Amino acid sequence: MSANEHQLTAAPPLAVGGASVRCGACSWADRSLVKESGWYPKRTMRAAQRLAFYASRFPVALVDSTYRFPPTPDVARQWVERTPEGFTMDVVAWSLLTHNATLPDSLWPDLQDEVRPEARDRRRLYADHLTADARREAWRRFGHALEPLRAAGRLGCVVLRYPYWMRPGETARAAIVEARDALSHLRLAIELPNLLWVEDDQCEPTLAFLEDQDLAFVCTDGPPQAEARPPVVASTSDLAVVRLEGRNPGDWDEAGLDMAQRFAYRYPLVELEEWVPRLSALAASTPEVHVLMANCWRDDAVVNAAELEALLRRSVAPSN
């Protein structure tokens, strides 16, 4: 059942300093949100109904499942059909495209023969295990799969999340330029988990490089920043992207811990308030800001997204 059949309208973005600010979450279908919280009106809602309901509450969502398995055009068409006009979806790039460890069975069957013979029995697949032609074809198929979203005006950006081990250097920059060239018709946002990219005298060159390539810098808030230093907040294109992971201080390497539980953290209002002036500064320097709560455990992300939006709304409300 489509969003149009429900006659739902998209939640509007918030106007801050002349910019359009969209707050949302990195999942609307996380199991703990659906099964262990009361955020959705009914636990018996179908997948299409949940997405339509989410879109009526928030103007943006990040699709993270595409990191593990590339999307298909049919899935992208379903996202369009299930959401109202005006809703925006950011999509995480498939792990292989950003040189991360990738599940071998996520590669299209007809490209399996393009894996180099010495890598075919490995438990993880990497971009360098494919021929150059196969990598180009992978980029093409990923972009083609998103075409229904782009054509419908639903696609916000593609988030390219590079691995922690990728340090600043010519090889890394070449990988990012490859992405820019392969998806030149789309807005791209670059997430660089390795803090060497933004430390000391490397920060300005990194931001300048992204700006030269018209790539958005993904600002992040999470355990490393919570323990070390404030996050780097900067805009390098006409879109600024912020991802808040939570500040769970627990042992992320604990064996047997469910991945979702590693993000189990409800931001208190005082920590969300820290982001109000930062987001206002971003809104003053770029026309669009996406704020994505990644603390997707039960209803933490959606509750925090609504709270942060309320704080921003209060900050721009005219004083009496």
Q: What is the pLDDT of residue 281?
A: 97
The pLDDT of residue 230 is above 80: no
Sketch out the chain's domains with CATH numbers: 3-316 (3.20.20.410)
Name the residue among 129, 52, 60 with its Cα closest to residue 89. 60
Which tens digit of pLDDT belongs to each residue from 285-313?
A: 999 999 999 999 999 999 999 999 999 99
User: Hey, what are 221's tokens?
Assistant: 């808030």
Q: What is the pLDDT of residue 225?
A: 56
Residue 69 CB partners (closer than 8 Å, separation 6+): 94, 103, 106
pTM: 0.94
Cα separations (Å) of 136 from 133, 173, 307?
A: 5, 18, 42
Grade residue 1 by pLDDT with cuts at 50, 70 and 90: very low
Grade residue 259 by pLDDT with cuts at 50, 70 and 90: low
Half-sphere exposure of 127 toward its Cβ, with a 13 Å CA cutoff?
Answer: 18
The pLDDT of residue 320 is above 80: no
Q: What is the pLDDT of residue 200?
A: 86
Q: What is the pLDDT of residue 5?
A: 45
Q: Is 126 exposed, middle or buried (0-12, 13-18, 19+ CB in 10 A)?
A: middle
For every residue of 189-204, DSSP letters joined together read: EEE--SGGGGSGGGHH
Name the residue among 52, 60, 37 with its Cα closest to residue 294. 60
Q: What is the pLDDT of residue 224?
A: 61
Kindly state the greatest CA–CA separation across the chain: 71
Q: What is the pLDDT of residue 222?
A: 87
The pLDDT of residue 168 is above 80: yes
Mean of pLDDT values over 231-258? 83
* Average predicted confidence (pLDDT) for the chain: 93
> How many angstroms separate the CA atoms of 26 and 246, rounded?
12
Which tens digit of pLDDT belongs to each residue from 57-114?
A: 999 999 999 999 999 999 999 999 999 999 999 999 999 999 999 999 999 999 999 9
Which tens digit of pLDDT belongs to each residue from 137-155?
A: 999 999 999 999 999 999 9
User: Hey, what are 229's tokens?
Assistant: 């230093």
User: Hey, what are 199's tokens?
Assistant: 């430390």
Report which residue type is found at 226. Answer: A
> What whole-number percentage of the chain has pLDDT above 70?
91
